[in-house]
Amino acid sequence: MIPKSPLENPLNSAHAWARYKRLMRFMAIFTLVFVLIALSGLYWRFGAISIHFYIATALGITVAMLLMAALMGLVFLSNGTGHDDSVSDLTEDR
């Protein structure tokens, strides 16, 4: 029999997703601050280059950091709730 995941309980699920959303809000703010610092440093070092350079840099940093945060947040959510422990290997010999 396949064990039930703790995320099937609505209270556990609500708590886990609230934690995930809080993590993502924090990372969005951190990313915004980091992008502003990076763009300020580039402007200070190189001056007024093409606006496309700054847009591409900001988008690249933002997408990379938020994607990393989203994927790592899902790993923490899965492990922290016990969802990983509920997965069983049906091909394993008993």
- CA dist 58 to 5, 34, 62, 67, 76, Å? 39, 10, 6, 14, 27
pLDDT at 58: 97
pLDDT at 93: 62
Tens digits of per-residue pLDDT, 62-87?
Answer: 999 999 999 999 888 877 777 666 66
SS3 track for the chain: CCCCCHHHCHHHHHHHHHHHHHHHHHHHHHHHHHHHHHHHHHHHHHCCCCHHHHHHHHHHHHHHHHHHHHHHHHHHHHHHCCCCCCCCCCCCCC
